[in-house]
Amino acid sequence: MVKVGVIGGSGYTGGELLRILSIHPEVEIKWVTSRKYIGRRISDIHPNLRGFIDLKFTQLSLDNIDMIDVVFCCLPHTVSMNIVKKIYGKTRIIDLSADFRIRDPAVYEKYYVKHMCPELLDKAVYGLPEIYREQIRGAMLVANPGCNSTAIILSLYPLRKFLEKSFITIDIKEGSSASGRNPSLSNIHAERINTVRIYMPMEHRHLAEIRQVLGIENISMTAHAVGMARGIYATTYIFTENLPSEKDLWKIYREYYSKEYFIRIVNRKYPPYNLPDIKGVVYSNFCEIGFKVDKGNGRIIIFSAIDSLIKGAAGQAVQNMNIIFGIDEKTGLDYPGFYV
């Protein structure tokens, strides 16, 4: 049994992580911290977990690090590195913030703040199993990817050879839980329902990790908020002179991902189910990828859908944990989502 601690377990990502861990057959949850809810039952804040986790939120104590095999850090960006700095080396760390995703401290500083422990950036492994599985195996510190980054990188990584001299722009549609459980004007129900609005017109922070992994700079992104609670839908437009056929793309993706359990290449015959859809992946750890070649316009269109809280956060974190501890990677994540 892997002994687990969770730092910052009261938000949506923390709740999703606890849900997965609570039914993971090889995990024992030892403690869960939350500054806001110390002493409150976890299931009072995550009512769906009643009966599945019988603990109270505690204060973070470094003394408790010894009793665990791995800690999941679900703190906000820029807060997380303060904690990681103190516990690095004492236990395995899976950090769900952005603090260790970027190799270059100057790039991190450009998108966030000055890094507090740049010496750890090199030690961190980017936790995208479909690409970095081998490195994750031995990692002491895993930087769990951003939700948008996961959807985008998984769908574009196999196409790198088409990207280099192309014009590439990504249009993101994002559910509301991605903005967290802290109340603010922009995530009030009445503000967020029945609309589409720009969340980040350009230079979204996730571009830093996307560029780093894809190894290109010529990629841009615009993020929209839409009125669903979960899910990331990424539509990528690639204008390239070197236009492949849809058959070519099929071949590339199948070759690349044929053994990847959580990747589904979607190209069905009949609408409305012919292409990736949030409903195909929501409440699961799967990623749906699809594509069209728009010859007349010299355009490849790539579609990618994930559940933002699972494959985009907590599910992927558990996938990383499974890899680290030599457990079958699918363990605790091997169930379909819900269509309705």
- Catalytic residue numbers? 147
Distance, in Å, from the CA atom of 311 to the CA atom of 128, rounded to the nearest integer, reads 10
Distance, in Å, from the CA atom of 72 to the CA atom of 144, rounded to the nearest integer, reads 10
State in angstroms the smallest separation of the CB of 53 from a copy of itself. Answer: 9
- The secondary structure element, H or E, covering residue 152 is helix 147-156
The pair of structure tokens assigned to 61 is: 């104590």
The DSSP secondary-structure symbol of 104 reads -
Q: Which is nearer to a copy of itself, 61 or 269 (CB)?
A: 269
Q: Which is nearer to a copy of itself, 183 or 326 (CB)?
A: 183
> Could you give the angle at which helices 315-324 and 12-22 cross, rounded to 10 degrees?
50
Q: Which is nearer to a copy of itself, 92 or 204 (CB)?
A: 204
Q: Based on the number of CB atoms within 10 Å of its own CB, is 229 exposed (0-12), middle (13-18) or buried (19 or more)?
A: middle
Please list, in sequence order, all residues whose beta carbon lies within 8 angstroms of the beta carbon of residue 262, skipping any fewer than 6 positions away: 130, 285, 286, 287, 311, 319, 330, 333
State in angstroms the smallest separation of the CB of 221 from a copy of itself. Answer: 9
Of the candidates 223, 230, 206, 225, the residue with the CA atom closest to the CA atom of residue 280: 230
State in angstroms the smallest separation of the CB of 57 from a copy of itself. Answer: 13
Across 240-278, b (16+ Cβ under 10 Å) vs e yields beebbeeeebeebbeebbeebbbbbbbbeeeeeeebbbb
State in angstroms the smallest separation of the CB of 313 from a copy of itself. Answer: 11
Q: Which is nearer to a copy of itself, 46 or 115 (CB)?
A: 46
State in angstroms the smallest separation of the CB of 12 from a copy of itself. Answer: 5
Q: Which is nearer to a copy of itself, 99 or 280 (CB)?
A: 280
**Token pair 């690090």 in the structure block, residue:** 65
Distance, in Å, from the CA atom of 122 to the CA atom of 134, rounded to the nearest integer, reads 16
